[in-house]
C-alpha cells in the first residue's frame, strides 16, 4: 500500500513492473503532477506543445463524464483510469471512487493530481486478477477502454465476455458508461488516421490486418449489448469526439445544420483533408444519418438519464467556465440549465438572473421577448430557462444565402436591427446578441441566451457588426454574403470595422483569460492538415511525406498516444538520420520512414552501437519486401508499395538495457505505386 495525500494505492495485484508505458514522457507528466496544481496544468500543456501532455492532463478530458448526475453516496468503478483524466470529475461528486489500472507510474500520476481527495482508491494490476475481488458499483466507467477487450479476454468473443464480467459488478439500478470511437466516424472518411493503429481507413475497412484495439459502429455495439442480455441502454454522441468533447448530443436532441464546424482536431498526428467535414455533416444531419457517422459514441447501459444535451464552455478563464444542459424534468417538461464549472464561476451564473431582469425591462414592448431565467441557489447554483422551440435567426439567414434570396435576408436583418436597437440608451446591453441566440416562431422573436450582458449602453451598430462578424467566421459557406452590403446597412466604415474586429479579439482574450484555444494548441503541437492536391510525386509534397513517425509498444500494442513525429529526421530530401532514446520497457518499436510508396536502403542501423540484423525477420518485420544487400555490410533495402510504410523492430529480442540508444541512417527514394507493385509482386 502507498498513500499520496488522501489517495490510497493498493499494489496487492501489481506484477512488479509496468507492462506498458509511454516512456520518458510519463516521467515529465509525473513531475508536473507532483509539483504543480491542476489549475497550472494548462500552462504546462502550452509550454510543452506535446501531444501526450495535452492528452493526459487537459481538463477538457473530464467533459465526457462531468455532465452525468452522480449521487453523493454513489460507489464508482473506473476501469483503465490511466493518469486520471476523468478521476477528479468522478471524485468530486461520488461517495467513493475505485480505480483500476495496470501501470504503477500512471496510477501515481493519478494520485498526485488528485491528492486532495480522500475518497479515491487506486488498485494497480491486471483487471482480470483484480476483478474477482471487486464488489458492486452504482456507476462503472470504461472511457477509451472497451476497445482493448481482446487484451483482457483470451476468448473468441472478448468484447461480449468483457461486458458480461463488468455487468456482474453493477448494482440492480446501476449504470455502465462506455466511451469509444466510431469506426465509421466522419473524420476517418475525411482523412484522419485510425486513432489506435495510425493507419488510413483501417477502421472503415473493419481492421483487415487486426490490431491491439478495435472500435465499432453503433449497430455493432447494439448487437453486443443484446447478446449480453442488455435491455436498457441509450446512446449519446460526443462532438467533435469523446477525448476533447465540447458538445454532447442524443437521439432526443440531435445537431442542426451548421452546428458541426469544429472539425480540425488532429492533435496527435498529421491528417489529410479529403472533403469539407462541415458540409458533409450538414448532409447527414439533414438526411437523418448523424448517429451513423458521429466520430464517437457514449453508451449508457442502465436507466435512461434526464440529460439530453450538454455543451461545455470550459476553454475560458475560471470565472466564466460553465456547462449548458437540456434536461427532462420529473414533470416531463424540457428545460435549459446552466451550471458553473468552477467556484469562481458561481457569480457569473448568478448574474444571468440579474441580466434577465435588466433586459426584460429594456425590451418591454419591443417585440423581442427575453427567455425567463430562474436562479436555484445551493452548493452549486444554477439557472434554468424554458426550452423554446423554433428556428434560429442563423438558420433563416443560411437559408437565404443558399437560395440567393438577399431581399429576404435584408428584411430579416432590418427587423433584427430594429428589435435589438430598441431603447438603445438604456444602461444594459447583451454584447453577444448573436443570430444563433435568437429563436423565431412565426412572428415571435425570443432571445434565449444573454450570458454576456453588461450594465452599459452599447451602440446597436456595434452589436450587429459583431453578430455578423461571428456568423461569417463559423462557416465558409457564408462567405457568399457580401459584407459591404451589411456594412452599408449599418453605416460602418472600413476603419470602424477594423476597430470592431480588434475589439472582438480583446473580448475573446477577456473571456479566455489569455489561454490558448484548442486550435492554437493544435498549431503548437505542429501536426499538419494535408489536402489531396498536395499529394503528388513532385517536390510540393515533400513537407508531408518527408517526416518520420515512431511508435513504441510497451506490451499493449501500438497506439497514437505512444507515438511521436521526428520532424527533423530528414537531413535532405532522401536521407534520414537520427538518434532515439529507447527505454528498456519498449518491447517493439515501429518506424514509419515516409508517408508514400518508397524504397529504403539501410546504411546504418544500431542499438547501443551494435548492428541490428535488419535482414533477420525474427528481429525486423516490415509491411513491404526485403531485398538482401550486396555490399560488404550486407545491409538490405526495403520496398514499400503502400503509402504507410513501416519497419518494426523487436527490441525485446535484442537484449536491451535499461536505457538504449537507437541510431538510424536510411537512404529513401520515393517511387510510383506501380513500380512498387511490380517489385513487391
Highest mean pLDDT among 83-92, 532-541, 653-662: 83-92
Q: Given the C-alpha cell 459583431, which residue does it identify?
A: 466
Domains and CATH numbers, the chain: 2-243+286-305 (3.40.50.150), 391-512 (1.10.510), 537-680 (no CATH)
CB neighbour list of residue 58: distance below 8 Å, 6 or more residues apart: 41, 42, 45, 85, 244
Nearest Cα neighbor of 272 from 281, 263, 280, 260 is: 263
Distance CA 326, CA 252 (A): 10
Residue 417's Cβ-count burial label (10 Å; 0-12, 13-18, 19+) is: middle
Chain segment 17-65, per-residue pLDDT in tens: 887 777 889 999 999 999 999 999 999 999 999 999 999 999 999 999 9
Chain segment 376-386, per-residue pLDDT in tens: 998 899 999 99
pLDDT at residue 493 in the model: 87
Chain segment 387-420, per-residue pLDDT in tens: 999 999 999 999 999 999 999 999 999 999 999 9
Chain segment 580-597, per-residue pLDDT in tens: 888 888 999 999 998 888
Chain segment 531-590, per-residue pLDDT in tens: 775 444 343 444 456 788 999 988 778 887 778 888 678 877 788 998 888 888 899 999
* Start-to-end CA span in the chain (Å): 58
Q: What is the mean pLDDT of residues 177-203?
A: 95
Distance CA 629, CA 185 (A): 43
Pairing of strands 334-340, 322-328: antiparallel
Percentage of the chain beyond pLDDT 70 is: 98
Task: Give the up-direction half-sphere exposure of residue 123: CA atoms within 13 A in the CB hemisphere.
Answer: 18
Highest mean pLDDT among 77-91, 596-610, 656-670: 77-91
Chain segment 619-633, per-residue pLDDT in tens: 999 999 998 887 667
pLDDT at residue 524 in the model: 84
Is the pLDDT higher at 518 or at 98? 98
Chain segment 306-353, per-residue pLDDT in tens: 999 999 998 899 999 999 999 998 888 999 999 999 999 999 999 999
Amino acid at each position: 500500500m502507498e498513500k499520496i495525500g488522501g489517495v490510497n494505492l493498493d499494489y496487492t495485484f501489481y506484477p512488479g513492473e509496468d507492462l506498458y508505458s509511454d516512456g520518458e514522457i510519463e516521467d515529465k507528466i509525473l513531475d508536473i503532477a507532483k509539483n504543480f496544481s491542476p489549475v497550472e496544468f494548462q500552462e504546462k500543456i502550452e509550454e510543452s506543445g506535446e501531444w501526450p501532455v495535452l492528452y493526459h492532463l487537459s481538463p477538457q478530458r473530464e467533459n465526457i463524464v462531468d455532465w452525468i448526475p452522480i449521487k453523493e453516496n454513489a460507489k464508482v468503478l473506473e476501469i483503465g483510469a490511466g493518469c486520471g483524466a476523468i478521476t477528479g470529475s468522478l471524485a468530486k461528486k461520488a461517495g467513493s471512487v475505485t480505480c483500476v489500472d495496470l501501470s504503477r507510474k500512471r496510477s501515481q500520476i493519478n494520485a498526485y493530481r488528485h491528492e486532495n481527495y480522500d475518497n479515491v482508491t487506486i488498485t494497480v494490476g491486471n483487471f482480470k486478477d483484480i476483478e474477482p475481488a471487486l464488489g458492486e458499483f452504482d456507476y462503472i466507467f470504461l472511457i477509451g477502454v472497451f476497445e482493448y477487450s481482446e487484451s483482457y479476454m483470451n476468448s473468441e468473443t472478448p468484447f461480449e465476455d468483457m461486458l458480461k464480467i463488468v455487468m456482474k459488478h453493477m448494482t440492480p439500478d446501476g449504470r455502465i458508461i462506455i466511451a469509444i470511437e466510431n469506426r465509421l466516424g466522419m473524420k476517418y472518411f475525411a482523412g484522419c488516421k485510425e486513432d489506435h493503429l495510425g493507419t488510413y481507413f483501417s477502421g472503415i475497412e473493419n481492421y483487415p490486418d487486426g490490431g491491439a484495439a478495435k472500435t465499432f459502429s453503433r449497430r455493432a455495439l447494439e448487437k453486443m449489448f443484446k447478446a449480453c442480455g442488455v435491455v436498457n441502454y441509450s446512446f449519446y454522441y460526443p462532438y467533435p469526439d469523446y477525448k476533447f468533447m465540447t458538445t454532447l448530443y442524443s437521439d432526443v436532441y440531435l445537431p442542426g445544420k451548421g452546428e458541426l464546424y469544429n472539425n480540425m482536431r488532429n492533435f496527435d498526428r498529421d491528417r489529410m483533408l479529403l472533403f469539407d467535414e462541415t458540409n458533409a455533416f450538414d448532409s447527414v444531419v439533414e438526411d437523418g444519418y448523424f448517429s451513423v457517422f458521429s466520430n464517437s459514441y457514449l453508451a449508457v447501459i442502465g436507466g435512461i438519464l434526464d440529460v439530453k444535451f450538454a455543451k461545455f464552455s470550459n476553454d475560458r478563464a475560471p470565472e466564466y467556465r460553465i456547462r449548458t444542459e437540456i434536461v427532462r424534468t420529473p414533470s416531463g417538461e424540457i428545460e435549459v440549465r446552466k451550471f458553473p464549472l468552477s467556484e469562481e464561476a458561481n457569480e457569473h451564473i448568478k448574474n444571468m438572473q440579474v441580466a434577465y431582469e435588466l433586459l426584460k425591462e429594456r425590451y418591454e414592448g419591443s417585440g423581442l421577448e427575453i427567455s425567463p431565467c430562474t436562479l436555484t441557489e445551493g452548493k452549486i447554483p444554477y439557472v434554468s430557462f424554458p426550452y423554446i422551440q423554433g428556428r434560429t435567426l442563423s438558420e433563416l439567414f443560411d437559408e437565404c444565402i443558399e437560395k440567393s434570396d438577399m431581399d429576404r435576408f435584408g428584411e430579416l436583418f432590418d427587423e433584427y436591427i430594429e428589435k435589438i436597437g430598441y431603447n438603445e440608451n438604456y444602461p444594459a446591453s447583451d454584447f453577444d446578441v448573436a443570430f444563433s441566440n435568437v429563436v423565431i416562431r412565426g412572428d415571435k422573436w425570443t432571445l434565449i441566451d444573454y450570458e454576456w450582458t453588461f450594465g452599459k449602453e452599447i451602440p446597436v451598430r456595434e452589436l450587429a457588426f459583431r453578430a455578423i462578424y461571428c456568423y461569417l467566421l463559423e462557416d465558409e459557406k457564408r462567405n457568399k454574403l457580401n459584407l459591404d452590403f451589411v456594412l452599408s446597412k449599418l453605416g460602418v466604415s472600413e476603419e470602424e470595422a477594423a476597430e470592431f474586429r480588434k475589439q472582438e479579439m480583446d473580448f475573446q482574450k477577456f473571456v479566455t483569460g489569455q489561454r490558448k484555444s484548442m486550435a492554437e494548441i493544435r498549431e503548437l503541437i505542429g501536426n499538419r492538415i494535408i489536402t489531396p492536391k498536395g499529394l503528388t510525386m513532385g517536390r510540393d509534397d515533400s513537407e508531408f511525406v518527408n517526416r518520420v513517425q515512431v511508435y513504441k509498444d510497451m506490451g499493449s500494442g501500438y497506439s497514437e498516444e505512444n507515438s511521436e513525429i521526428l520532424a527533423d529526421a530528414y537531413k535532405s530530401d532522401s536521407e534520414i538520420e537520427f538518434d532515439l532514446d529507447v527505454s528498456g520497457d519498449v518491447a517493439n518499436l515501429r518506424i514509419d520512414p515516409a508517408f508514400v510508396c518508397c524504397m529504403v536502403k539501410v546504411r546504418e542501423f544500431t542499438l547501443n552501437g551494435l548492428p541490428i540484423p535488419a535482414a533477420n525477420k525474427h528481429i525486423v518485420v516490415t509491411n513491404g519486401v526485403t531485398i538482401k544487400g550486396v555490399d560488404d555490410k550486407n545491409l538490405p533495402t526495403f520496398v514499400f508499395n503502400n503509402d504507410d510504410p513501416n519497419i518494426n523492430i523487436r527490441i525485446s529480442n535484442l537484449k536491451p538495457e535499461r536505457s538504449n540508444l537507437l541510431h538510424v541512417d536510411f537512404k529513401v527514394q520515393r517511387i510510383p505505386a506501380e513500380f512498387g507493385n511490380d517489385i513487391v509482386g
